[in-house]
């Protein structure tokens, strides 16, 4: 009771008995400032979000999948398997007949890798931000930089709604630039995606969404796998076969127990044109 | 067999008021002719009460206070007439295009759909009002009686069978000649009216009461026909018209527009009119075409356009450029086309799409004429299944894509399609489809394409666009050191290499290509990074195509 404001009438401050509770609640509701406050006992428990597959079984076992209506963040250095997880997630989502959007900040998406992973391009909206931006009438350069373009586009996509998965690819953006993205942007995205079934994925080199991320996954590249060419080929050649990748669950708000450092490893397979 | 007639009194004025509804309630006169010999061609009731008569000169009527003068616009009259036909066709398929201001429709058997004839007549008048036209509607057992009633009585009139003569009796005999527009017909009508006036015949009751034989002896068969009209006894077959489904609206501007905001107001009005017409026909818009007539001469001559350059300006070319076409080609047409993925019928969405499009592609000169046309299509009738995943609403998606295109560029947003070639990075982008077309394409692809592998994840490549030129040191034919000027982090000793993966294509064409692909590992601050190094065999250049991630 010490937290109640001092201007409350004396009639409601004394004893809270079972009999007087309804009348007290009525009096409390009569105070305009407190009328909108929901009692803690009446707060509804937020249901656990639906989890969807990432397309990689080991990651699904590690995290339980990707939560809908939440912001999930995947980070790691170059060649750590972030983009492999990205195309796998896009492939899984598009094969579930969901429309997905990829906000490609540095225009780095490789359609061939996507096709090899099984992405159905008919359901993928690819937004290529970057330097080759449109010129305004009169010949002046676009006023938005790649990161600002990506943030604006992401905002539009999330406000529009209807997407099964929205991925913001900041993987090639320098760490110092990513850290300069205001926290309010991530809060805005989180609030926009919260009441929707959209999975919001952010890929970067370092964690940037901080408290807004419900799931934080770190990726690490373990080793590259090579193989020698089969007989009949020149003897000196060996080809890059794939990557051994490890993912570590750094934080998950979806599990009530404290998060332990749990890891999972998986392999990827390289594809080539021709 | 009842017939309904829709008649628009003072049609030229109504066509004008449809384009400028804010003038409704004011005294309006429409002028025709070349300056300075303009004469009053049509007036509304308010102007008529103020003393303005047809045929008065502009100089005479300019003295009237509170009178709005407008030049006659045939384009607006055509649009209003098309809207009138659409209104009639939304009730009955059998419609006769009697005159520009008069439409007759066969309403036999429509009671089951629209209720009693009195309600039907009110509905027709309301639909015409929704299209911006205040109409008189009359329903009568024969077409001519319906026309006379619509021209003679304001509002809604229903003439029951057998009481035609009784109900038409009070109308002036001038109603019989109201449709005479040609000079010869007008002259003939004036002679008849003079004769009838001399006989003391003022209304249809008097004319109907005249003996038929005597009338025939004096006025001939024409007189007998007029008497039959007055008695409501004529009988003729309706001549149904089937006008093509053309939905277009036009407006000519007295003062050229140079800002986007006032243009948006006009576009909104035109869009509302087109959407109302399409709605009356139960159709939607598949493609929207905007044509703007630009006045380059004006933009260069008085410099008024330059004065408005700024936020939302449509004219932002330098004066030297705006004079480019010269006086002979001073007027040019500026075209924009919006192709919609699904048929829509929402004025706000169309307006926003046009605004975004014009912001991205300003016309570059003052606008003197706006022409908006729509390609009709059947409205989308799709019901999503209960268990289908959600997808963006087509209307919202279209707006979102347009807004995104305004941020990143038109060719930078959409869906991707791989081309049927081995050439690296061969793809093209097209606009993201939604709904049924998306599902159809996807299902078709699923049948033919079994590309995906569900067992193992794919090592994705991150492409550098454009590729980073590199300087490579070779030892025993293998890269051992690399330097990249544009990307400083790609430099140093190569830890290991794999390759080459050699392939070529299109050698039978001029744009052939041949390349050796190497996969290399470099030590960086945060660990080892893998890159794809490519040697262009034809040009002998090295470049880094991307990084494995």
Say which CATH number the domain at B316 has. Answer: 3.30.1490.100
In a domain, B440, yes or no: yes
Q: Is A129 within 8 Å of B408 when comparing Cβ atoms? A: yes
Q: For testing the chain B interface, which of A50, A79, A207 should be mutated: the one with the most B CBs within 10 Å? A: A79
Q: Is A79 within 8 Å of B454 when comparing Cβ atoms? A: no
**Domain check: are A21 and A96 in the same one?**
no
Q: Which helix (H) or strand (E) holds B445?
A: helix B435-448
Give the whole-angstrom CA distance, residue A100 versus residue A123: 6
**What's the confidence (pLDDT) of residue A61?**
87
Q: Is B501 within 8 Å of A274 when comparing Cβ atoms? A: yes
Facing B459 at nearest CB: one of A120, A121, A243: A243
**Domain check: are B161 and B252 in the same one?**
no
Distance in Å, alpha carbon of B396 to nearest chain A alpha carbon:
6
DSSP assignment of B247-263 equals: EEEEEEEEEEE-BHHHH
What's the CATH code of the domain at A80?
Answer: 3.40.50.300
Give the mean pLDDT of A120-140: 69
Residues 6+ apart with CB under 8 A from A21: none
**Domain check: are A28 and A57 in the same one?**
no
**Domain check: are B51 and B174 in the same one?**
yes
In a domain, A3, yes or no: no
In a domain, A258, yes or no: yes
Q: Is B412 within 8 Å of A132 when comparing Cβ atoms? A: yes
Question: Which of A224, A228, A104, A123 lies closest to A167 in space, CA to CA?
Answer: A104
What's the CATH code of the domain at B17?
Answer: 3.30.70.270
Facing A237 at nearest CB: one of B442, B463, B500: B500
Q: Is B462 within 8 Å of A83 when comparing Cβ atoms? A: yes
pTM: 0.73
**What's the confidence (pLDDT) of residue B436?**
56
Q: Residue B212, Cβ neighbours under 10 Å: how many?
A: 12
Distance in Å, alpha carbon of B381 to nearest chain A alpha carbon:
19
| Contact criterion met (CB below 8 Å) for B145 and B168 | yes
**Domain check: are B258 and B225 in the same one?**
no
Helix (H, G, I), strand (E, B) or coil at B435: helix
DSSP assignment of B342-395 equals: EEE--HHHHHHHHHHHHHHS--SS-EEEEEEEEEEEPPP-----TTSPP---HH
**B542 is in which domain, residue-wise?**
461-548
What the block records as the tokens of B7 is: 């008649």
Distance in Å, alpha carbon of A134 to nearest chain B alpha carbon:
5
**Domain check: are A141 and A227 in the same one?**
yes
pLDDT above 90: residue A72: yes
Q: What is the ipTM of this complex?
A: 0.81
Last residue of a domain, one of B204, B231, B258: B231
In a domain, A90, yes or no: yes
Q: Is B462 within 8 Å of A110 when comparing Cβ atoms? A: yes
Our CA dihedral for B124, B126, B131, B135, rounded to 10 degrees, sits at: 70
Q: Which helix (H) or strand (E) holds B503?
A: strand B491-505
Give the number of domains in chain A.
2
Give the whole-angstrom CA distance, residue A55 versus residue B175: 79
Facing B433 at nearest CB: one of A122, A161, A164: A122
Chain B residue with the nearest C-alpha to that of A165: B391
Give the whole-angstrom CA distance, residue B155 versus residue B18: 18
Q: Is A162 within 8 Å of B526 when comparing Cβ atoms? A: no
Residues 6+ apart with CB under 8 A from B356: B399, B402, B403, B405, B406
**Domain check: are B29 and B126 in the same one?**
yes
Give the whole-angstrom CA distance, residue B97 versus residue A234: 84
Facing A127 at nearest CB: one of B404, B406, B417: B404
Q: Is A205 within 8 Å of B526 when comparing Cβ atoms? A: yes
Q: A23-32, A91-100, A187-196, B262-271: lowest mean pLDDT where?
A: A23-32
Q: For testing the chain A interface, which of B402, B460, B531 should be mutated: the one with the most A CBs within 10 Å? A: B460
In a domain, B257, yes or no: yes
**Domain check: are B106 and B48 in the same one?**
yes
**Domain check: are B321 and B257 in the same one?**
yes
DSSP single-letter state for residue B512: -
Q: For testing the chain A interface, which of B458, B484, B523 should be mutated: the one with the most A CBs within 10 Å? A: B458
pLDDT digits (tens, 9 = 90+) for B415-439: 998 888 888 888 888 888 766 555 5
Give the number of domains in chain B.
4
**CA torsion through residues B114, B115, B118, B123, sign:** negative
| Contact criterion met (CB below 8 Å) for B469 and A108 | no
Question: Which of B98, B108, B100, B165 lies closest to B139 in space, CA to CA?
Answer: B108
**Domain check: are A31 and A89 in the same one?**
no
Q: What are phi and psi for residue A103, nearest 5 degrees? A: -95, 100
Facing B549 at nearest CB: one of A81, A156, A162: A81
Helix (H, G, I), strand (E, B) or coil at B424: coil
Facing B316 at nearest CB: one of A77, A137, A221: A137
**Domain check: are A129 and A20 in the same one?**
no
Beta strand pairing status for A199-204 and A71-75?
Answer: parallel
What the block records as the tokens of A32 is: 């305009």
**Domain check: are B177 and B55 in the same one?**
yes
Give the whole-angstrom CA distance, residue B444 versus residue B454: 20
Query: Which residues of A are less than 8 Å from B389 in CB distance?
Result: 96-98, 164
- Strand extents, DSSP E, A130-237: 165-169, 199-204, 213-228
**Domain check: are B52 and B167 in the same one?**
yes
**A19 is in which domain, residue-wise?**
10-42
Place of tokens 């709005």: B68
Give the whole-angstrom CA distance, residue B373 versus residue B290: 7
Our CA dihedral for A18, A19, A23, A29, rounded to 10 degrees, sits at: 10
Residues 6+ apart with CB under 8 A from A32: none
Q: Is A97 within 8 Å of B442 when comparing Cβ atoms? A: yes
Q: Is B408 within 8 Å of A111 when comparing Cβ atoms? A: no
**Domain check: are B193 and B57 in the same one?**
yes
| Contact criterion met (CB below 8 Å) for A110 and A172 | no
Query: Which residues of A are less than 8 Å from B547 in CB distance?
Result: 78-79
**Domain check: are B367 and B488 in the same one?**
no
Q: What are phi and psi for residue A216, nearest 5 degrees? A: -125, 120
Q: Is A160 within 8 Å of B361 when comparing Cβ atoms? A: no
- Residue A262 half-sphere exposure toward CB, CA atoms < 13 A: 15
Q: How far is it between the farthest Cα atoms of chain B?
A: 123
In a domain, A21, yes or no: yes
Residues 6+ apart with CB under 8 A from B417: A121, B427, B428, B429, B430
Distance in Å, alpha carbon of A246 to nearest chain B alpha carbon:
12
**Domain check: are A101 and A17 in the same one?**
no
Give the whole-angstrom CA distance, residue A167 versus residue B483: 32
pLDDT above 90: residue A101: yes
Q: What is the pLDDT along chain B (549 residues), one digit of tens a residue?
A: 689 999 999 899 999 898 888 888 889 999 988 878 889 989 988 888 888 888 899 888 888 888 889 888 888 888 899 889 989 988 998 999 988 889 999 998 888 888 898 999 999 999 999 888 999 999 999 999 999 999 999 999 999 888 888 888 889 988 888 877 777 888 888 888 899 999 999 889 999 999 989 989 888 898 899 999 999 888 888 888 887 888 888 888 888 888 888 899 999 989 998 998 888 888 999 899 999 998 877 655 444 444 343 345 555 444 434 444 444 456 788 999 988 878 888 899 999 999 988 888 888 888 988 999 999 998 877 666 777 777 888 888 888 998 998 888 888 899 998 888 888 888 888 888 766 555 555 555 554 444 444 567 888 899 998 888 888 888 888 888 988 887 888 888 888 888 788 888 888 888 888 888 888 888 888 788 889 999 988 888 899 999 988
Query: Which residues of B are less than 8 Å from A123 in CB distance?
Result: 415, 438, 442
């Amino acid at each position: 009771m010490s937290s109640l404001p001092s201007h409350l009438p004396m009639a409601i401050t004394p004893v809270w008995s079972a009999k007087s509770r309804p009348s007290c609640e009525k009096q409390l509701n009569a105070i305009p400032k407190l009328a909108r406050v929901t009692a803690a006992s009446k707060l509804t428990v937020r249901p656990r979000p639906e989890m969807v597959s990432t397309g990689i079984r080991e990651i699904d076992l590690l995290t339980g999948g990707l939560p809908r209506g939440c912001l999930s963040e995947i980070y790691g250095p170059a060649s750590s398997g972030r983009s492999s997880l990205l195309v796998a997630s896009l492939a899984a989502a598009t094969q579930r007949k969901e429309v997905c959007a990829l906000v490609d900040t540095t225009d780095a998406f490789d359609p061939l890798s996507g096709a090899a992973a099984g992405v159905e391009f008919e359901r993928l909206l690819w937004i290529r931000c970057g330097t080759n931006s449109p010129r305004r009438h009169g010949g002046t350069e676009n006023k938005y930089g790649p990161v600002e373009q990506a943030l604006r586009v992401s905002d539009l996509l999330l406000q529009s709604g209807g997407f099964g998965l929205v991925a913001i690819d900041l993987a090639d953006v320098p760490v110092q630039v990513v850290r300069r993205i205001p926290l309010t942007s991530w809060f805005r995205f989180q609030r926009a995606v919260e009441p929707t079934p959209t999975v919001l994925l952010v890929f970067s080199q370092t964690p940037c969404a901080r408290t807004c991320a419900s799931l934080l996954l770190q990726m690490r590249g373990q080793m590259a796998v090579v193989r020698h060419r089969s007989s009949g080929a020149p003897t000196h050649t060996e080809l890059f076969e794939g990557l051994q990748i490890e993912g570590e669950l750094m934080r998950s708000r979806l599990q009530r127990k404290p998060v332990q450092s749990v890891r999972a490893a998986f392999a990827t397979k390289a594809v080539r044109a021709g | 067999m009842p017939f309904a007639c829709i008649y628009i009194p003072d049609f030229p004025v109504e066509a004008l008021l449809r384009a400028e509804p804010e003038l409704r309630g004011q005294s309006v006169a429409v002028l025709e002719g070349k300056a300075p010999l303009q004469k009053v061609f049509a007036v509304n009731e308010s102007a008529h009460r103020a003393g303005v008569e047809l045929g008065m000169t502009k100089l005479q009527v300019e003295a009237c206070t509170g009178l709005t003068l407008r030049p006659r616009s045939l384009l607006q009259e055509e649009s209003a007439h098309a809207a009138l036909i659409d209104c009639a066709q939304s009730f009955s398929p059998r419609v006769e295009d009697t005159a520009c201001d008069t439409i007759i429709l066969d309403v036999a058997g429509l009671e089951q759909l629209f209720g009693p004839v009195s309600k039907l007549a009110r509905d027709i008048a309301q639909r015409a009002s929704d299209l911006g036209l205040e109409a008189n509607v009359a329903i009568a057992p024969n077409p001519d009686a319906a026309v006379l009633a619509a021209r003679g009585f304001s509002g809604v009139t229903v003439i029951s069978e057998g009481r035609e003569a009784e109900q038409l009796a009070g109308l002036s005999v001038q109603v019989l000649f109201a449709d005479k527009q040609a000079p010869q017909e007008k002259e003939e009508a004036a002679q008849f009216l003079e004769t009838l006036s001399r006989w003391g015949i003022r209304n249809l009751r008097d004319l109907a009461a005249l003996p038929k034989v005597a009338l025939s002896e004096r006025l001939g068969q024409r007189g007998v026909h007029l008497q039959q009209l007055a008695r409501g006894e004529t009988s003729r077959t309706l001549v149904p018209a089937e006008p093509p489904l053309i939905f277009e609206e036009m407006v000519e501007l007295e003062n050229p527009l140079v800002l986007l905001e006032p243009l948006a107001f006009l576009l909104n009005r035109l869009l509302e009119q087109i959407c109302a017409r399409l709605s009356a026909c139960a159709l939607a818009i598949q493609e929207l075409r905007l044509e703007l007539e630009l006045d380059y001469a004006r933009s260069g001559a008085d410099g008024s356009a330059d004065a408005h350059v700024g936020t939302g300006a449509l004219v932002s070319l330098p004066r030297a450029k705006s004079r480019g076409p010269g006086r002979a080609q001073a007027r040019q047409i500026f075209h924009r086309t919006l192709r919609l993925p699904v048929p829509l019928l929402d004025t706000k969405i169309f307006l926003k799409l046009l605004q975004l499009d014009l912001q991205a592609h300003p016309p570059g000169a003052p606008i003197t004429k706006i022409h908006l046309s729509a390609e009709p299509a059947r409205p989308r009738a799709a019901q999503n299944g209960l268990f289908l995943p959600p997808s963006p609403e087509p209307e919202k998606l279209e707006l979102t894509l347009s807004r995104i295109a305004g941020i990143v560029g038109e060719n930078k947003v959409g869906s991707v399609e791989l081309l049927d070639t081995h050439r690296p990075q061969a793809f093209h982008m097209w606009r993201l489809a939604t709904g049924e077309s998306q599902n159809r394409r996807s299902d078709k692809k699923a049948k033919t394409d079994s590309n995906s592998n569900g067992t193992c994840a794919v090592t994705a490549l991150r492409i550098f666009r454009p590729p980073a030129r590199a300087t490579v040191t070779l030892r025993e034919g293998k890269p051992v050191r690399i330097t990249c000027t544009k990307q400083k982090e790609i430099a140093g000793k190569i830890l290991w290499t794999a390759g080459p993966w050699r392939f070529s294509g299109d050698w039978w064409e001029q744009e052939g290509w041949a390349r050796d692909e190497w996969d290399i590992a470099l030590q960086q601050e945060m660990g080892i990074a893998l890159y794809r190094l490519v040697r262009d065999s034809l040009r002998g250049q090295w470049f880094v195509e991307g990084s494995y991630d």
